[in-house]
Amino acid sequence: MQVAMTSVPARTGRVNEDFAAATAAAAVLLDGAGIPGADSVCRHGVAWYTTRLGGSLLGLLSLLPDQPLPALLAEAIEQVTDVHRDTCEVADPISPSATVAMLRVSGDLAEYLVLGDSFLVLDRAGGAPLVVGDPREVTVSRTYLPAYEATAEGSEQRRQVLRDLRARRNRPGGFWLAKDDPRAADQAVVGSVPIAELTSAVLLSNGASRIVDRFGLTDWPGLLTLLASNGPAEIVRRVRQAEARDAVAADDATIVHCKCLGEA
């Protein structure tokens, strides 16, 4: 498997809370979720959490190639939680968490897992790409938008709306992220596709997927064409241009582009 990647912080001088890494047979992308006040319950921070979790995942993917992806994610969450369980309030709703996208080449299959609002796009030879996402956070958040917009910025009423939304995290009927509870891994979107049907695969954080799902600068087939011709850095460049044009706050943006999936 050949891999090209880029990961860019939201702005110069800011810590990048995304994580991306790959081996010859697997790729991992995490998008850290930071909430104001998190430093009061966890002294390590979101970037630390994503780096530790991503590193654990990559190691487990190499050491335990026959284990199901959700089992590996559950084990990695448990490992990282154990590291700071005694020093931080890991179960607090605002403690660090992350979305996860994973790809593994196993025999003649490309296996995948997505948890949270990152994306994985599989480029199928002779057919439309398979776009794998987990829309639950976006869907749940939209139900709180009217109440949020009806309250004043900085008010206790708005803070309560946000607390109510965060309480839906890692709860039945809510949305799921990697955090402190390994059972969240069982809620991930998983599947597999024969490698022979694929020409490439792409993992994107939601800061990079904006080129399609927020700004509409291209569609998913167009994204794959652009990656093939110009590489992942061009995707981020165009996203940054759109953010500046529309006065939208920038986000960390990470892309992992995997080609030649059946080759060592």
Say if domain 2-134+177-206+251-259 classifies as CATH 3.30.390.30.
no
pLDDT of 38 > 80? The answer is no
Query: So what's the pLDDT on residue 264?
Result: 62
CB atoms under 10 Å from CB of 101, counted, come to 32
Angle at 226 between CA 100 and CA 19, to 5 degrees: 25
Using one digit for the tens of pLDDT, what is the confidence trace for 98-130? 999 999 999 999 999 999 999 999 999 988 999
Closest by CA to 124, choosing from 62, 198, 50, 42, is 198
Question: SS3 for 26?
Answer: strand
Strongest mean pLDDT among 123-127, 166-170, 236-240: 236-240
What confidence category does residue 74 fall into, taking pLDDT thresholds of 50, 70 and 90?
very high
Mean pLDDT within 87-106? 91
Domain range list for the chain: 2-134+177-206+251-259, 136-175
User: Can you tell me the mean pLDDT for 138-161?
Assistant: 88
What average pLDDT does the structure give for the chain?
A: 93
Calculate what percentage of the chain has a pLDDT beyond 90.
73
pLDDT band at 164 (very low <50, low <70, confident <90, very high): confident
198-214 burial, b at 16+ Cβ within 10 Å, e below that, comes to bbbbbbbbbbbbbbbbb
Mean pLDDT of 41-55: 91
Q: Residue 82: its pLDDT value, please?
A: 93
68 vs 65: CA distance, rounded Å: 8
Q: Say if residue 208's pLDDT is above 90.
A: yes
Is the pLDDT at 32 greater than 90? The verdict is: yes
* Interval 7-32 mean pLDDT: 95
